[in-house]
Amino acid sequence: MTTLRFPLSRIEGHARVEMEVEDGKVVSAQFQAIEMRGFRYFMQGTPAEQMPVIVTRICGVCSTAHHVASVKTLEDIFEVEPPELAKEIRELLLLGQLIQNQATSLFIFTMPDRVGASSIFHMDESEADPEQQLSLAQRALKVRQIGTKLITLAGGQFIHPIKAIIGGVTSGIKKEDAANMLSEVKEMLPIACTLFDEYWEMSLAMKERIGTWGDDQPAFYIASTERTRPKLNSDTIRVLGPDGTERASFPPHLIREYLEYEETEYSYAGQSSYQGQVLRANSLARINLAVSMGTPYADDYLDKLTSTFGKPAHPILLFDLCRGIELVYAFERAIEILSNDLAYEDTSVPYTPKDGEGYGLVEAPRGPLVHHYTVKDGLIEDAEFIIPTVHNMLAIERALLVAGDRYVSPSGINLELEKAVGRVVRAFDPCIACATQ
Amino acid sequence: MTSKKQSLPRFAVLQLSGCAGCEVSLLNANEWVEKYQLVYMPLVVSSHTVPEDTEILLVSGGVRNDEDIYNLRRAVKIVDRVIAVGTCAISGGVANLGDRDEVREMFMAQANRHHLPHLLPKSRPIDAFVDVDLYLPGCPPTPELFMAALTGPENFQASSIVCQECGRKKLKDMRPKHLLGFQQGEVLPDICLINQGYLCVGSSTRGGCRAICTRPGHPCVGCRGPSDAYIEKESSVWFDRIQQVFERLTDIPPQEIYDALHSPQLSLFLFQFTDYMGNGGPSRPKEKVL
């Protein structure tokens, strides 16, 4: 028996893959999260009202999702409903995160695989025309920056947002600030679309080269968005079957009843499943759920994906293309929201702190994120973070086995395997800081 | 292009146990792309070790497991200059909220996995293991601060405290009697947050962030750490100073301020004081803090 160990890069956090090979066949593949800070433990005893600002430190990439999920959890406990304007500003905040995250995953994490470079900052070292590659990198970073700017505008701080509060948000968005942001988003939308077109072409070319879209066996899917218009701030989680039909829909407090959860000895992250079956979260889950995105450009891309690959689609490299559809959707939806009046004063309602138990759900870029707190004497007695990356763990390992089968044979190990491992993991865009906390 | 790029100074980013917020902030600072060559940063570059001839090493995250120690010691041997970036690298960071016996015991008993990097009982700052040339506090430091740390702090202009960069007016006749919750209430524009009853510690927190939180209306939680006036002292001096500011501007009972200052949201950043490290080590000299 031989153990192959692959370090990973261009993903969030510290993880590695171990494969056991016996008689020319991969017999097991483990995706190992190798870091942990221990939020679940050290949050105990924290004044509940301070959670929304502390939990952003779980992850600097997904901080916005944790910020909003935390506020929603406390609103659930304190029984308070934020005003509409606050919900709109929170949606804008989550859209900013979606843009930043999908642009990062598409252009910084996975585009180098498509052009054969080690990073977006080394694109001119790839075989393609250096000028063209540099232009690609510059445009990609600009598109990503729109996400950062939206987070700053709607969240008050650029990495660890502060503006969502129990009962609402701290302030509206001034007309002038909204107008400036609106014109920037409008200006960048066509650039984002062109970039996505180029990325789509690169993906087709990569498929030609490697001969596969990756693991395409059916799976279950989990998302908290809707069939029309991906709603990032909903209160319902849905599970789709491998045939695309809805198998379950439930509020966040029932998530542990619907999903199995297990910890393993080989990873600091757990793994979940649905009725013992492989589950997938993230972009492909949402797109398989979506009948329409509700905005013109994103709907064109959705039609293109569906007519090319069918629905539900299962090959894992389609996660990446789905991220592009969502990137375009987030631009279009941000334009709609920024065109509304966000300046008025009614941004929050008062609340009275209470003890109790509550749940908060948001659709993070990686899937449904649930916070679950128990508050006693105003302090956190228990805090549970149910992380979307954890729903993808079994799916990642299955896809690794598929890649292992493809590149390992009794005659030897094809050197393409290392690259394939990277592509497989990046398709799921796992976040290890979140998965382990 | 390639030859020009190869003559640029080479820097690496070593990420220990942290949240990657520092890395995201660095990515937002596009200016370095033209001036530096990024040779190692697993978040964005496929390379698995810090290459020889790397000049600058930025380290983010705290030392939380034995692999962090190994990676840190190995990387600093290669480079000329080590910069500790962000709260976690400087103090161990948010995980220090668990530096209590009952939490530590539960954590060590339940969390460790045998075949993986072994967790340490406490998250440690990097200077508990290696020498640091420059500290860049912030959670995370802004892109502007990253550029200043890379290009040389001597050219960086900043106020000594956040208050001076905030520009909100302090009023003598607006004296709240109690603190508002951290997260509660409407914020009046242009008026000092302390006058409005918020626990803002910008009066003793290191400037350079351009007051990005207080200007839109969120009280400073002190993520940049103590200003030069306090960085070489014990945290008690800093606590006293904040108390004085509140006594001058408000009628809030001192005990209320004391309790709030010692709550997790703020102590998160106070770990940057040496006396919180609990090893009696020397304080960080202010010349080394940007």
SS3 per residue for chain A:
CEEEEEECCCCECCEEEEEEEECCEEEEEEEEECCCCCHHHHCCCCEHHHHHHHHHHHCCCCHHHHHHHHHHHHHHHHCCCCCHHHHHHHHHHHHHHHHHHHHHHHHHHHHHHHHCCCCHHHHHHCCCCHHHHHHHHHHHHHHHHHHHHHHHHHHCCCCCCCCEECCEECCCCCHHHHHHHHHHHHHHHHHHHHHHHHHHHHHHHHHHHHCCCCCCCCCEEEECCCCECCCCCCCCEEEECCCCCEEEEECHHHHHHHCEEECCCCCCCCEEEECCECEECCHHHHHHHCCECCCHHHHHHHHHHHHHHCCCCCCCCHHHHHHHHHHHHHHHHHHHHHCCCCCCCCCECCCCCCCEEEEEEEEECCEEEEEEEEEECCEEEEEEEECHHHHCHHHHHHHHHHHHHHHEECCEECCHHHHHHHHHHHHHCCEHHHHHC
Q: Do A157 and B212 touch (CB under 8 A)?
A: yes
Distance, CA of A60 to CA of B23 (rounded, Å): 8
Q: What per-residue confidence (pLDDT) applies to B282?
A: 66
Contact residues on chain B for A124, CB-CB shorter than 8 A: 1-2, 5
Residue of A34, A42, A160 lying closest to B117 (CB–CB): A34
CB-based contacts of A11: which residues, under 8 Å, 6+ apart? A109, A425, A426, A429, A430, A431, A432, B43
Chain B nearest C-alpha distance from A114 (Å): 13
Q: Do B45 and A49 touch (CB under 8 A)?
A: no
Q: What token pair was written down for B109?
A: 């008993």
Q: What CATH architecture does domain A2-436 belong to?
A: Orthogonal Bundle (1.10)
Q: Is the dihedral of CA B204, B159, B155, B22 positive or negative?
A: positive
3-state secondary structure of B209: coil
- Identity of residue A243: D
The CA radius of gyration of chain A, in Å to the nearest whole number, is 21
Q: Do A145 and B264 touch (CB under 8 A)?
A: no
CB burial of A318-356 (b: ≥16 within 10 Å; e: otherwise) equals bbbbbbbbbbbbbbbbbbebbeeebeeeebbeebeeeee
Query: Kind and range of the H or E element at B101?
Result: helix B101-111
Q: What per-residue confidence (pLDDT) applies to B99?
A: 79
Chain B nearest C-alpha distance from A72 (Å): 14
Residue of A13, A38, A124 lying closest to B107 (CB–CB): A38
Q: Do B44 and A36 touch (CB under 8 A)?
A: no
Contact residues on chain B for A380, CB-CB shorter than 8 A: none
Chain B nearest C-alpha distance from A128 (Å): 14
Distance, CA of A117 to CA of A180 (rounded, Å): 35
Contact residues on chain B for A42, CB-CB shorter than 8 A: 94-95, 97-98, 103, 107
Contact residues on chain A for B25, CB-CB shorter than 8 A: 60, 158-159
Q: Do A60 and B186 touch (CB under 8 A)?
A: no
B183 in contact with A at a CB cutoff of 8 Å?
Answer: yes
Domain ranges of chain A: 2-436
**pTM (whole model) above 0.90:** yes
Q: Do A171 and B187 touch (CB under 8 A)?
A: yes
Domains identified in chain B and CATH numbers? 2-155 (3.40.50.700), 162-276 (no CATH)
Which regions of chain A are under pLDDT 50? Answer: none
CB-based contacts of B247: which residues, under 8 Å, 6+ apart? B254
B116 in contact with A at a CB cutoff of 8 Å?
Answer: yes
Q: What per-residue confidence (pLDDT) applies to B2?
A: 47
Q: How far is CA A63 from the centre of its chain?
A: 12
Contact residues on chain B for A61, CB-CB shorter than 8 A: 19-21, 24
CB burial of A159-171 (b: ≥16 within 10 Å; e: otherwise) equals bbbbbbbbbbbbb
Q: Model confidence over B50-87: pLDDT tens digits?
A: 999 999 999 999 999 999 999 999 999 999 999 999 99
- For residues B249-270, average pLDDT: 87
Q: Model confidence over B147-193: pLDDT tens digits?
A: 999 998 888 999 999 999 999 999 989 999 999 866 566 788 899 99
Q: Do B2 and A171 touch (CB under 8 A)?
A: no
Residue of A8, A13, A268 lying closest to B20 (CB–CB): A13
3-state secondary structure of B29: coil
ipTM comes to 0.93
Residue of A34, A54, A60 lying closest to B268 (CB–CB): A54
Chain B nearest C-alpha distance from A431 (Å): 10
pLDDT at B5 over 80: no
Chain B nearest C-alpha distance from A408 (Å): 23
Q: How confident is the model at residue B93 (pLDDT cuts 50, 70, 90)?
A: confident
Q: What per-residue confidence (pLDDT) applies to B202?
A: 95
Q: What token pair was written down for B39?
A: 């040779």
Distance, CA of B238 to CA of B218 (rounded, Å): 21
Q: CA dist A342 to A178, A412, B2, B37, Å?
A: 8, 61, 47, 42
Burial, A201: exposed, middle or buried (Cβ in 10 Å; 0-12, 13-18, 19+)?
A: exposed
pLDDT at B252 over 90: yes
Q: What token pair was written down for A366?
A: 């990686």
In chain B, the percentage of residues whose pLDDT exceeds 70 is 94
Q: Testing the interface with B: which of A6, A11, A14, A136 to mutate, by most B Cβ within 10 A?
A: A14
Q: What are the CB-based long-range contacts (under 8 Å, 24+) for A172-176?
A: A172/A85, A172/A89, A172/A342, A172/A343, A172/A344, A172/A345, A172/A347, A173/A89, A173/A92, A173/A342, A173/A343, A174/A343, A175/A341, A175/A343
Residue of B2, B30, B183 lying closest to A165 (CB–CB): B183
Q: What per-residue confidence (pLDDT) applies to B1?
A: 41
Q: What per-residue confidence (pLDDT) applies to A20?
A: 97
User: For chain B, what is the mean pLDDT?
Assistant: 89
Contact residues on chain B for A350, CB-CB shorter than 8 A: 184
Q: Which residues pair with A408 in a beta bridge?
A: A413
Q: Do B44 and A141 touch (CB under 8 A)?
A: no
Distance, CA of B32 to CA of B224 (rounded, Å): 22
Chain B nearest C-alpha distance from A73 (Å): 15
Q: Do A163 and B216 touch (CB under 8 A)?
A: yes
Residue of A39, A119, A350 lying closest to B44 (CB–CB): A119
Q: What per-residue confidence (pLDDT) applies to B32?
A: 87
Contact residues on chain A for B2, CB-CB shorter than 8 A: 124-125, 130
